[in-house]
Amino acid sequence: MGNLVSLWIGDKLGDEGVKAMQHQKLNRLTQLSLYRNGMGDEGAIAIPQSKNLEKTGRVKLNWNFVEEEGIDP
């Protein structure tokens, strides 16, 4: 997974799953699509806080439960 550059998950990952993605092996991830994962504000906030996802330039959070708290204005 060290060379992974794109990840697409559609399996109800949820907030806990997003936090688990902070694993050191995902440090080359450049695109992240979390379509229909039941993720809320907590998961959306965890993504930019992860030092391992610093290089992720594009994040798609379509069809989740992210509200104003999880969106950076």
Strands 58-60 and 6-8: unpaired
| Residue bearing the bigger pLDDT, 14 or 5 | 14
**AA identity, residue 47:** I
Sequence ranges of the domains in the chain:
6-67
pLDDT (tens digit, 9 = 90+) per residue, 12-62? 666 666 666 666 666 666 777 777 777 888 887 777 777 766 777 777 777
- Name residue 33's beta-bridge partners: 8, 60
pLDDT at 71 over 80: no
Residue 5's pLDDT is what? Answer: 54
Q: pTM of the prediction? A: 0.57
C-alpha–C-alpha distance, residues 15 and 68, integer Å = 16
